[in-house]
Structure 1
Amino acid sequence: MSRNPFFSLIARENNRLTFMGDATHVVHVFVLEEGLIRVMLLPGGEVRFPKTWAIAPGLDDVPREGRDRMDLSGFTLPAYLFAETAEEFVVTTPAVRLTIRRDGFFCRWETRAGNEWTTVASDRATQSYNFSWWDDKVYHYLKREADEMYFGLGERAGDSNRMGQSYRLCNVDPMGYSARTTDPLYKHIPFYVTWKKSARTAFGLFYDTLSDCTFNMGKELDNYHGHYRYFVADHGDLDYYFIAGPAPADVTRCFTWLTGRPAFTPKWGLGYSGSTMSYTDAPNAQERMNEFLEGCRKHDILCDSFHLSSGYTSIDGKRYVFNWNRDKFPDPKAFVQHYLDHGVKLCPNIKPCLLRDHPRFAEAEAAGLFIKDAEGRPAQVQFWDETGAYIDFTNPRAYDWWKARVTDALLDYGISSTWNDNNEFEIWSDEPLVDGFGRQRRACEAKPLHTLLMIKASREAQAAHAPGKRPFLISRSGAAGMQRYVQTWSGDNYTSWETLRYNIRMGLGLALSGISNTGHDIGGFAGPAPEPELFLRWVQHGVFLPRFSIHSWNDDSTVNEPWMYPEITPYVRDLIRLRYRLIPYLYDLLWRYHTRFEPMMRPTFHDFPNDPRCFEENDDMLVGGKVLVASVVEPGRRDRRVYLPQGASWYDYWSGDYFAGGQEVVLPAPWDRPPLLVREGSILPLNLAEQHFAELADERGFAVFPCRGEGAMDDRFFEDDGESLVDPNGTHGEWRVTINATASELQVQVAPLGTVAIPATGVKLLFPRQESRVVRAAAGCIVTDAIGDQWREVTVLP
């Protein structure tokens, strides 16, 4: 084994420090923000991947050819202190102190709590990096402390705390996966949050790589090295970002900002989306599709969209992207318009692989659009029940060809969205080559790059086809930065109670990793049909997720639909109505996600890091910072025990009962009402209109859960037409609701801002019916007051 290289500072250019060790090894340290420092270690001195597609600080996108890794635009590049001695270098900002040992470049990270510096991370004291010692892979070993907990890494199976586990980030299609044990899964998010229990502080590490990689979070032990955790990537560079806390919320928000502004998708994307493979696989597909609309009408199920499965492209049971099966759909334009006439938008499935007998395969091959083998032929991969070749999205001609096909095969028919599916790019050979935007390289070195470029190309096509409107896309697979383009979900889950429980944890891990416009296939996708109780409980949870879609491919050929069990259909209908009542709140959370980089869903410790119990494994979920969802994940239960985080008090949404935080309570959990709590001092924007299928309406109102004693409530809520482009820094509509509480009265003011106006019928405020204080409105407004079954309704008239 070679000795450790000894490093010297060779250049200091503003916020980039360059060090060299033994004439071959180069390290760049970038001071990007007060709480954000980057380390790029290059054992051979050269960058292997000079471009990044993940880093877009506060930006909507990056060029399709990628962003130069040395580009520091978008960062504030703050002032910092630098010192060096014979043994070490020290880089200090107001939030982070990085100490580097010159012998071996071992790093120690400290963060500031008040006037005190606390060590939060240290490289392993024995061989923390690969200075060309072992192989061509990229390694980073860190010392592991007993008081550490690890969260994130995207949608990982199992418990929320990743401590003691090992995970492989290698995008695959594990249909029917176990949400408790299966690894790897669909997405590539090499980022995690460390929580230091003793110091009550957090930090994040993001490894900017698109290579298959592994995170070992303490599952491996080696007596010679002490306790450690590590990251290893098969290819690329060691280019990592240290994100200071102090709380997990700070880390997640910074990482989301770092990897790009989340897409502000249209409001209709938050509505119920129907889907099943069975309809489009049927020989009478259009007739079956019309049955869905009839089912929604018959049972009065509110619906905004339908995920059109790939059977619409089939020939003899195989899928041929961009090909309409005219036997199943003789007139696609009329079919699309029929759905639009019922207020339902279609989101068609598209796949990035052309089967070898695809009608356009020869055309694409002649144009050189495929990922190629060593002889320059299309590299064949297994895809569905055939072999085919993936489109090479790093080839500008292929990228543009894809955009043209999205347009002429889908958008020109009246479709306004795309469902980007089967886009894991499962290439298992090291031989296939990609264009690499003129710099040819092996496809295996950055498979998720094609996923990102596929959804980027689809989005560009949609934006060009409907300028002025916000595109809507779904993608199953993805990588860091995918939030800039799409809504996503946890893939083809298995139908079971266990899946329901662990899908909750998967979704929260993904939200902590910057991606929270997400959901699950409600009821389970693969396996047996869900029994009525499981289906109902899954719907009860699903109505609170940003993506709410019931989608299935059941073993017995049945279809998961809202009306699949007549005995519970009324409950399902009312739960979907609850969803639509809450859409203004979800829409405002989407806007905050877009503008403030705050996750829409989150674990309780995100908002209550000072309560140690919130870090224990649980099945609870915060929707924004105001709503606590306690889903039932066990059969036969008619109540739910839930721990209420300390630091807040809580109202039962249904009964109005009031609970102090820091205690366990048992809530009723009947089939018609999911356990639901709202934080004291919260205001929720609601849609109070009576709604029916194909007759959606909107009437803004607000549910108020006031401070029990004296206190002020002042909040703003986004409002627009739901689909037009919006400048985050421009003028838009808002509601401002202000309530000042005293022991005897509530002083209320509802102020429309921008394009919003109070209607002549007024604005309703719903208080828990137990609220008995006098309500007074601002000068010039009239108040009416009435007690209902659940709410005390106060109407503010202009």
Structure 2
Amino acid sequence: MIRKKIHILLVGLLLAGCSAKQYQMIDGGVVVNVKQKSKTDTHKVRLQVVRDELIHVSATPDNEFPKDSTLIIVPGLKNTPFTVDNSHKDSIMLVTSRLRVAVSNLDGGVKFKDKDGKVILAEKQGGGKTFTPIEVEGTKGFSVRQIFNSPADEAFHGLGQHQADEFNYKGKSEELFQYNTKVSVPFIVSNKNYGLLWDSYSLSRFGDSRPYKQLNNVFKLYDKTGKQGSLTGTYTSKDKGVETLVRNEESIFFEDIKSIKNLPKNFPLKNANVTYEGEIEAPESGDFKFTLYYAGYVKVYLNNKLVVPERWRTAWNPNSYKFSMPLEAGKRVPLRIEWQPDGGTSYCGLRALTPQQADEKDNQVWWSEMNKKLDYYFVYGNDADEIIKGYRMLTGKSQIMPKWAMGYWQSRERYKTQDEILTNLKEFRKRKIPIDNIVLDWNYWEENAWGSHEFDKKRFPDPQGMVDSIHALNGKMMISVWPKFYKTTEHFKEFDRKGWMYQQAIKDSVRDWVGPGYVGSFYDAYSGGARKLFWKQIYDNLYPLGIDAWWMDASEPNVLDCTDMDYRKALCGPTALGSSTEYFNTYALMNAEAIYNGQRSVAPNKRVFLLTRSGFAGLQRYSTATWSGDIATRWEDMKAQISAGLNFAVSGIPYWTMDIGGFCVEDRYVAGQQQYDKNGQENKDYKEWRELNARWFQFGAFAPLYRAHGQFPYREPWNIAPEGHPAYKSIVYYTNLRYRLMPYIYTMAGMTYFNDYTIMRPLFMDFQADKKVENISDQFMFGPAFMVCPVYSYEARNRNVYFPAGSNWYDFYTGNYITGGKQVSVDAPYEHIPLFIKEGSIIPVGPEIQYTGEKKADKIVLYVYKGKDGSFTLYEDEDSNYNYETGKYANISLTYNNTNNTLTIGERKGQFDGMLKNRTFVIVTVSKDKPKAFNYDADGQSVTYDGREQKVTLK
């Protein structure tokens, strides 16, 4: 018996010794050791518990992990209790109250299971990790890849904001970098109840780790005569005396300022029609992916099918569009690209990918160019809201924007004088069109003084008077502040003396587009000292004027348009933290921190508002919104903003906006045509322009931020169409509706902070059980009540709408009842966007106002849409300070019981300075049997409310 006990003890000690070698306990987690076959195989996997549902995973092929540093994760996250189960033969299990996370000690593969042992997410068999050594500017790192298994019915949303009008990224790929109109956020939400935050700041890819290749590196090419080796390029000019040029094209790659030099020299592209045609022969059978890069007008035919209907982009700001097609090995397929360049400099490219390699196909794939280690965060949640809450737990709370930011923003590229900006704001007030914010775009300085923060006195003789006048008109002013400085300015020199300016543009004498072209560069926002100096220069020159908001343009950073990727890296590095290869995507985050922390350091209780053209994970913590950049003014571009905005919202950053009407305008709208002919008929282009803007304003009124901006034609409502025109009437109607809904909208702003809410919501967020909504990218919920269905086709007067199952619906304009779970063709008259209210909704409607602070909502109409129980909690605070962070706010719960037909107005919770202690609620009910159109002044049951609970039986 004694010998048996000694044997058991020895076996136990031996197993304990093996376990000790297999893993080590660390503060907040565990490190699992993996036996390597080669030096680039996984050697260590680290799991750290952030919360019961949040797990940080790191892996390295090295003997030790590099020192932790992060730009996106907020400090101070407390460790959560966990246990380690080492009873499994080939794995170590980390256990929290909600998760069981297993790491194989054979290959380092990680599996995430729920508390019942059901697999939520698993890395691919063998671990799915790849480490490829890379060295840049003397710093060593790895190009990393991680593959996860993905079931066929999985859906992925997020990844930031992209312009190819893709929504569900399952089976698709996206390259993650920052550029004008493209904002990359490495976070996805899966319909399998998890999110994944990929912690890398370098150029990354999702879905397919490979870069697109030029056509001749993918296919055999044949010209239009059948000769192998190239396509045929035909260049025809509309200019007299210019002969048609025909030449062989070994690839179609004219995508940057370097490669466009391969276009025909001395051939005038400005008035040209270009055709690339021939045949391509695939090396294997399968689905081939294509990416089209274009400026000007372009169409693509493949296998005699129009696969890319006409698209357009302005010459200086090309766009990408993706498509795919199954091809057969050895079969020649016709290809034809019809391109009409936009101006003398223009871009066109078509690249492709062979069918995806077996280990990646149909799986979840992440790749990044340069990391010190492989890093990601797993976020578990029962629904998308809970997952986004976890993301914000990691990367920071979304601040409540000032209430005035929820109002209308009028902008123009650009108000050229002090008189222009004031005259237009006065016109809004004269016409009684609500507005809160007016914007001064770039070039308010003297032409050769970009970055000086000084006004051109000829055009802006009294900046202080201008700001004061805007405030006197009850407006707020946002001003453009770029991270760009001409080398002749004192501000540039101040940065330069400290080594805080990127030098490549200076060395290469890169000139911009202003006047004769001026040499300058961008400051290094990765330096803490540089960020403080950036704010100090703003504080010394602009802040004393009383400017309310800051527009942070070109924050990708966009030092020079249309460069190849390698030169872009050279222009924006090296950074204070390391090479621009490693820190390629996070400039906007650092730049936002500069102004947010700067303003809060001098005015800690004044809410910050920042608008930036780029972004990254964590941007929301700096009270920063993003807009979708210099998009084009086409119907397809408007449609692409819907999916772009929805995916951006799912990426965890709740405040997003766009240039209503689009920024870059086709020549047909700006060529100086007469708006009307001698018979009073609208010019056909202006007719379309007005309808496009009407539809875009209808959509924009239900974006988190409501803002118009763009080049000529001007975007003020009266410049779009005359008073009385359907476009004008529609714009004014939805602007007024936006302001009447301010109690509802501002409550959602509060919810983004207190509940980690998302304002602009893909349908799958609220109708998770209905699998049909996972691919619906052109409808969305605006808060809990409104389903918004934009119209994005010219002269469309109806559109198909899917009504999600799990709820029934009311038509906003008629009150008519619609049963959920079906698709219906609905009316879409010129002046109205299809708009529907979810059954059980309670919508607070405020008084008529011309700006958000005009008067308090002492009378609120409560629309109650019967049919099922519902609730809404009205949120109010002091509108423009941070006292809500210390508890100065109030909530009034509104609860409808459908069975008892009662509305309970709950006891007011909380208080704040200036709070209304008494108000009137007017309750208006809409039901299936008694439909009622939405009406601001509808009659209803009037209730006097003094903060005490009231229960009202509804009539």
In 2: Cα distance, 1:507 partner to 1:7 partner: 49
Pair 1:451-2:583 in alignment: no
Matches of residues 359-438 of structure 1 in structure 2 within 5 Å? 359-372=490-503, 385-426=517-558, 428-429=566-567
Pair 1:514-2:625 in alignment: no
In 2: Cα distance, 1:542 partner to 1:788 partner: 21
Which stretch shifts more, 697-706 or 756-765?
756-765
- Give 2:123's aligned residue: 123
Pair 1:335-2:466 in alignment: yes
Residue 433 of structure 1 contacts residue 442 of structure 1 at CA under 8 Å; is this kept in 2? no
- Give 1:689's aligned residue: 848
Q: Return closer, same or farther for 1:373/1:630 CA change in 2, 3 Å cut-off.
A: closer
Q: Return closer, same or farther for 1:737/1:473 CA change in 2, 3 Å cut-off.
A: same
The one-letter amino acid paired with 1:111 is D
- Give 1:525's aligned residue: 663
Which stretch shifts more, 243-252 or 16-25?
16-25
In 1: Cα distance, 2:590 partner to 2:936 partner: 52
- Give 1:495's aligned residue: 633
Show CA shifts across 1:671-692 (max 9, x none). 3332221222221222223547
In 2: Cα distance, 1:226 partner to 1:648 partner: 36
- Give 1:149's aligned residue: 155
For residue 561 of structure 1, the aligned residue among 710, 716, 731 is 716
In 1: Cα distance, 2:860 partner to 2:890 partner: 15
- Give 2:24's aligned residue: 11
Which stretch shifts more, 686-695 or 405-414?
686-695
The one-letter amino acid paired with 1:53 is L
Matches of residues 636-651 of structure 1 in structure 2 within 5 Å? 636-651=795-810
Pair 1:294-2:426 in alignment: yes
Pair 1:203-2:194 in alignment: yes
For residue 170 of structure 2, the aligned residue among 163, 167, 184 is 163
In 2: Cα distance, 1:241 partner to 1:590 partner: 27
Q: Return closer, same or farther for 1:668/1:101 CA change in 2, 3 Å cut-off.
A: same
Q: What SS is found at the alignment partner of 1:234?
A: strand
Matches of residues 90-129 of structure 1 in structure 2 within 5 Å? 90-111=93-114, 115=116, 117-125=117-125, 128-129=128-129
Q: Return closer, same or farther for 1:536/1:365 CA change in 2, 3 Å cut-off.
A: same
Runs of at least 5 residues in structure 1 that lack an aligned partner in the other structure? 1-5, 57-66, 68-72, 175-184, 196-200, 774-785
Q: What SS is found at the alignment partner of 1:52?
A: coil
Q: How many Å apart are 1:741 and its aligned residue?
A: 4.2
The one-letter amino acid paired with 1:254 is G
Matches of residues 255-294 of structure 1 in structure 2 within 5 Å? 255-280=391-416, 285-294=417-426
Q: How many Å apart are 1:170 and its aligned residue?
A: 1.4
For residue 589 of structure 1, the aligned residue among 738, 748, 751 is 748
Residue 273 of structure 1 contacts residue 549 of structure 1 at CA under 8 Å; is this kept in 2? yes
Residue 651 of structure 1 contacts residue 705 of structure 1 at CA under 8 Å; is this kept in 2? no
Pair 1:795-2:927 in alignment: no
Residue 718 of structure 1 contacts residue 735 of structure 1 at CA under 8 Å; is this kept in 2? yes
Q: Return closer, same or farther for 1:788/1:724 CA change in 2, 3 Å cut-off.
A: closer
Runs of at least 5 residues in structure 2 that lack an aligned partner in the other structure? 1-18, 136-141, 210-288, 290-354, 560-565, 670-687, 946-955
The one-letter amino acid paired with 2:419 is E
Which stretch shifts more, 359-368 or 340-349?
359-368
Q: Return closer, same or farther for 1:373/1:310 CA change in 2, 3 Å cut-off.
A: closer
- Give 1:722's aligned residue: 879
Which stretch shifts more, 727-736 or 523-532?
727-736
- Give 2:709's aligned residue: 551
Matches of residues 703-742 of structure 1 in structure 2 within 5 Å? 703-708=862-867, 711=869, 713-728=870-885, 730-742=887-899
Q: Return closer, same or farther for 1:229/1:120 CA change in 2, 3 Å cut-off.
A: same
In 1: Cα distance, 2:592 partner to 2:133 partner: 38
Show CA shifts across 1:449-493 (max 9, x none). 332121111112222343322111111111100011112211111
Q: How many Å apart are 1:387 and its aligned residue?
A: 3.7
Q: How many Å apart are 1:99 and its aligned residue?
A: 2.7
Q: Return closer, same or farther for 1:741/1:213 CA change in 2, 3 Å cut-off.
A: closer
In 2: Cα distance, 1:762 partner to 1:226 partner: 60
- Give 1:70's aligned residue: none
Q: Return closer, same or farther for 1:295/1:101 CA change in 2, 3 Å cut-off.
A: same
- Give 1:782's aligned residue: none
Q: Return closer, same or farther for 1:454/1:573 CA change in 2, 3 Å cut-off.
A: same
Q: Return closer, same or farther for 1:789/1:224 CA change in 2, 3 Å cut-off.
A: closer
Residue 379 of structure 1 contacts residue 432 of structure 1 at CA under 8 Å; is this kept in 2? no
Q: What SS is found at the alignment partner of 2:155?
A: strand
In 2: Cα distance, 1:788 partner to 1:40 partner: 56
Please tell me the root mean square deviation across aligned C-alpha atoms, in Å.
3.2
Q: What SS is found at the alignment partner of 2:883?
A: coil
Residue 412 of structure 2 contacts residue 441 of structure 2 at CA under 8 Å; is this kept in 1? yes
Q: What SS is found at the alignment partner of 2:697?
A: helix
In 2: Cα distance, 1:694 partner to 1:118 partner: 52
In 1: Cα distance, 2:841 partner to 2:359 partner: 54
Q: How many Å apart are 1:631 and its aligned residue?
A: 1.4
- Give 1:50's aligned residue: 68
For residue 389 of structure 2, the aligned residue among 250, 253, 262 is 253
- Give 2:247's aligned residue: none
Give the number of equivalent residue pairs. 733
Q: Percent identity?
A: 25
Which stretch shifts more, 203-212 or 249-258?
249-258
Q: How many Å apart are 1:143 and its aligned residue?
A: 3.0
Residue 815 of structure 2 contacts residue 934 of structure 2 at CA under 8 Å; is this kept in 1? no
Matches of residues 527-676 of structure 1 in structure 2 within 5 Å? 527-528=665-666, 529=669, 531-553=689-711, 557-563=712-718, 564-566=720-722, 567=725, 568-676=727-835
The one-letter amino acid paired with 2:415 is Y
The one-letter amino acid paired with 1:480 is A
Q: Return closer, same or farther for 1:379/1:229 CA change in 2, 3 Å cut-off.
A: farther
Residue 463 of structure 1 contacts residue 469 of structure 1 at CA under 8 Å; is this kept in 2? yes
Q: Return closer, same or farther for 1:319/1:109 CA change in 2, 3 Å cut-off.
A: same
The one-letter amino acid paired with 1:405 is Q
- Give 1:767's aligned residue: 925
TM-score normalised over the length of structure 2: 0.71
- Give 2:598's aligned residue: 461
For residue 239 of structure 1, the aligned residue among 369, 375, 384 is 375
Pair 1:31-2:49 in alignment: yes
Show CA shifts across 1:108-127 (max 9, x none). 33335xx4x33343323357
Q: Return closer, same or farther for 1:379/1:462 CA change in 2, 3 Å cut-off.
A: farther
Q: Return closer, same or farther for 1:302/1:233 CA change in 2, 3 Å cut-off.
A: same
In 2: Cα distance, 1:546 partner to 1:700 partner: 24
Q: Return closer, same or farther for 1:85/1:752 CA change in 2, 3 Å cut-off.
A: closer
In 2: Cα distance, 1:7 partner to 1:653 partner: 65
In 2: Cα distance, 1:321 partner to 1:509 partner: 37
Q: What SS is found at the alignment partner of 2:118?
A: strand
Q: Return closer, same or farther for 1:87/1:771 CA change in 2, 3 Å cut-off.
A: same
